[in-house]
Structure 1
Amino acid sequence: MDENVGNSLDYLEKSNPFECGFDSFRQSTNPVPIPFILIALLFLPFDLEVSSMLPYIVSSYSTGLYGLIFFIIFLLILVIGFTFELNSKAISLFRFLPKSINKSLTIYL
């Protein structure tokens, strides 16, 4: 099929990606660190849970006491899960603080 369309000249510059007119000496993207990926994976469920609170906030007047009790139970489950992740060192929120302050901020379940 290529013979029918025209001649094709293959050389090194054609096979490299175009980088604003200059040859790149190294990889253009930096590797993503593992802690960033872990925080992103932990953020996703909490983000979905927070977005699932929106229907109660919108309809809090019509759900009444039953909706309020359900919402409080839902928040308690979220808080217990978050403290469990903090205590299991899955999330290290206080790693940049000095050790003396870090020990006083430990949450015990």
Structure 2
Amino acid sequence: MIMSIFSLTLFLISLILMIISTILSKKTTLDREKSSPFECGFDAISSSRIPFSLRFFLIAVIFLIFDVEIALVMPIMSTFFLSNTKIWMTTSFLIMIILIWGLYHEWNMNSLDWKLF
């Protein structure tokens, strides 16, 4: 009973805060130039073509991939006592081989070489 009242109170407080933030964030003045779509021939207010490093993007993607892989590897140790030892060993060995193979491939393609940046 107390937990449901507590949950309902938290829900109502968060709902009220979201409604207040939505009301306060509305812009009251509308500029015709800023709300019109950009078409060819108009001068942009600022440069929309900011140079972006493709190598930085690749490093970010590699980081995200290995971050997700670490999130998949973390629960392996907690499932050791809940599963069959032989199946657990083969599965964890296969996952680690795939991770090491991916790291070797990135290293072989010089994606991890910071001197190239």
Greater helix share, structure number: 2
Offset of residue 32 of structure 1: 5.1
Opposite residue 53 of structure 1, the aligned amino acid is V
Q: Which residue of 2 aligns with 1:46?
A: 66
65, 85, 100: which one aligns with 1:65:
85
Q: Taking structure 1 as the reference length, what is the TM-score of the superposition?
A: 0.51
Offset of residue 31 of structure 1: 5.8
Matched, 1:82 2:103: yes
Alignment of 1:1-109 (within 5 A): 33-66=53-86, 67-93=88-114, 95=115
Opposite residue 45 of structure 1, the aligned amino acid is I
User: RMSD over aligned Cα, in angstroms?
Assistant: 3.0
Q: How many residues align?
A: 77
Q: Which structure exhibits the higher relative contact order, with contacts defined as CA atoms closer than 8 Å and separated by 6 or more residues?
A: 2
Change over 3 Å in CA distance of 1:60–1:37 after alignment to 2: same
Identical amino acids, percent of aligned pairs: 23
**Is there any run of 5+ residues in structure 2 with no aligned partner, and where?**
1-32, 34-45
**Is there any run of 5+ residues in structure 1 with no aligned partner, and where?**
1-14, 16-25, 97-109
Opposite residue 84 of structure 1, the aligned amino acid is H
CA distance in 2, matches of 1:34, 1:45: 17
